Amino acid sequence: MTFFINGSSYTHGDGLAQPAQDSWPVLFGQKLNSPIVNLSRSGASTEYIVYSTVKELSLNAYKKVIITWPALGRLMLVRRENGYFLHTGPGLYRFYTGGYIYADSAEFKDYVKLHYKYWFNRLHDLKQSLQQIVLLQEYLKNRECQYLFFNTNPYNLDKWLQLSTLDYRDKRQLVDGFDDLDDGQIAAEEMEIQSLYQQLDIKYYHDPINFNLIDWCSKLQYRDTTTGHPTITGHLHIAEYIMDLWKNLYPTTEEL
């Protein structure tokens, strides 16, 4: 049965000479002798992953789904005249040159700079991202899909879940506009984040507080020091790690 996989650069295979052969989703499919559909895209945001996953599953009856959640703070833009998707994040627009249509355009760069200077809010972004993850979780359950979620990037949930108890320096680092919030507002934000976290089904969302692919690959020296992405060996070990996670969740999965 086909696996549907979605995520960002770590799952797309950035940094590999032949991602269509060596990325971990391909290796994972080979290990389980199963076809895969990998819709991952470099720089993808949570919004794009949810949008493209729901769209794809609405058109195809995939029942096995793996989602790797990307860095927080990313932005999905859709070109008005042709519906072209372009992804960016804080500072990323400086590097998305030549690879995507419109990435070099002045209107794109100017828009992104203004967005992150005046309109980006880390607290709101975290809450909105958690909401989107919960919504996709419930969508997959409603469709009776087998699924696995895990983070590509660290989310600092250990800090967000205890926001009111942090040192003021840590609060200011996390919360944009911290100086305009009183203790009651900080406590209310903490309760909202805790409520969203409690709605996550941690059985199928692999340790979102302590695990992410970037730190895991760094610890085991599976990251290329030039690209910051997993090496071929790293992709192989990611595939093995995820296969073990999947087979623990769904023991009837057979390796052929």
Angle, alpha carbons 172-178-182 (nearest 5°): 125
Q: For the chain, how many structural domains are there in total?
A: 2
| Whether 230 contacts 223, CB under 8 Å | yes
> Do 103 and 221 belong to one domain?
no
> Do 93 and 220 belong to one domain?
no
| Whether 246 contacts 238, CB under 8 Å | no
Rounded to two decimals, the pTM is 0.94
pLDDT of residue 56: 97
- The position carrying tokens 């076809």 is 35
d(CA 44, CA 42): 5
d(CA 107, CA 223): 34
On the question of pLDDT at 256 being above 50, the answer is no
Considering the chain, what is the average pLDDT of its residues? 92
> Do 56 and 30 belong to one domain?
yes
End position of a domain, from candidates 87, 117, 147: 117
**Tokens linked to 156:** 């600092």
**Tokens linked to 238:** 């990611």
pLDDT per position as a tens digit, 64-116? 999 999 999 999 988 888 888 888 887 654 444 445 677 778 888 888 889 99
Secondary structure in 3-state letters for the chain: CCEEEECCHHHHCCCCCCHHHHCHHHHHHHHCCCCEEECCCCCCCHHHHHHHHHHHHHHCCCCEEEEEECCCCCEEEECCCCCCEEEECCCHHHCCCCCCCCCCCHHHHHHHHHHHHHHCCHHHHHHHHHHHHHHHHHHHHHCCCEEEEEECCCCCHHHHCCHHHCCHHHHHHHCCCHHHCCHHHHHHHHHHHHHHHHCCCCCCECCCCCCCHHHHHHHCCCECCCCCCECHHHHHHHHHHHHHHHHHHCCCCCCC
Strand partners, 147: 65
> Do 230 and 131 belong to one domain?
yes
> Do 130 and 43 belong to one domain?
yes
Q: Is 163 within the bounds of a domain?
A: no
The CATH number assigned to the domain holding 52 equals: 3.40.50.1110
| Whether 245 contacts 206, CB under 8 Å | yes
> Do 128 and 88 belong to one domain?
no
> Do 126 and 206 belong to one domain?
yes
> Do 8 and 60 belong to one domain?
yes
Angle, alpha carbons 167-185-113 (nearest 5°): 80
pLDDT of residue 96: 44
On the question of pLDDT at 218 being above 70, the answer is yes
d(CA 109, CA 117): 12
pLDDT of residue 242: 98
Q: Is 101 within the bounds of a domain?
A: yes
> Do 146 and 206 belong to one domain?
yes
Q: Is 193 within the bounds of a domain?
A: no
Q: What is the mean pLDDT of residues 225-229?
A: 93
pLDDT of residue 254: 57
In order of 52, 85, 143, 248, 254, the CA distances from 41 in angstroms are: 10, 10, 24, 27, 29
pLDDT per position as a tens digit, 141-200? 999 999 999 999 999 999 999 999 999 999 999 999 999 999 999 999 999 999 999 999
> Do 145 and 127 belong to one domain?
yes
> Do 88 and 207 belong to one domain?
no
Domain boundaries, position 66: 3-73+120-155+201-249
> Do 100 and 130 belong to one domain?
no
Q: Is 168 within the bounds of a domain?
A: no
